[in-house]
A = this chain, B = another copy of it.
């Protein structure tokens, strides 16, 4: 999935501005790496970014990718996601959004919902901490995986339903 060209350009402008403000040097590598995350809609991990950028800049090193991604994260230009058992992945979408997560393949897709943006914060959370934002995770099986499952005539998994 690819992001609209206009949005990419906006993101890159913003990136340059933030670097300037923060007195962070604008190197070729940083621009390449940020552009790659900004234009990819599917939350790539460090190695994926590295492989993509290396097509144009073959001597980019993987550790620079890591260093840069964490720098961008510290600057608030990208966010991290991805759970256990998979590598850390990065997202340049700073708009308020929610995630669909495929429990089979791990696909994580952004989606937007005004309803979910305006959920009430439960009262009893105030003792736990101060909630800043609520994000909804929709867990399920993505279209691709359910197509595959149908082909292979897989039996549904046999987890018991149990609740305390």
Contacts and interface: CB of A to CB of B under 8 A. Distances in A.
Nearest to A4: B164
Which label, helix, strand, loop or mixed, suits the secondary structure of the A interface? mixed
A129 B143 contact: yes
Contact of A84 (B80, B146, B159, B162): B80
A132 to B, nearest CB: 4
Given A128-B143, A139-B135, A82 B84 contact: yes
Given A76-B159, A135-B136, A162-B94, A102 B129 contact: yes
Interface residues of A, number: 58
A13 to B, nearest CB: 10
Per CB-CB distance, the 7 closest pairs between chain A and chain B, nearest first, are A84-B88, A76-B159, A129-B142, A131-B140, A132-B140, A131-B138, A80-B84
Interface of A: 7, 10-11, 14, 18, 75-76, 80-85, 88-89, 93-96, 100, 102-103, 107, 109, 111, 113, 115-116, 119-122, 124-125, 127-143, 145-146, 159-160, 162-164
9 contacts: A76-B159, A100-B128, A102-B129, A111-B124, A127-B143, A129-B140, A129-B145, A132-B140, A132-B141
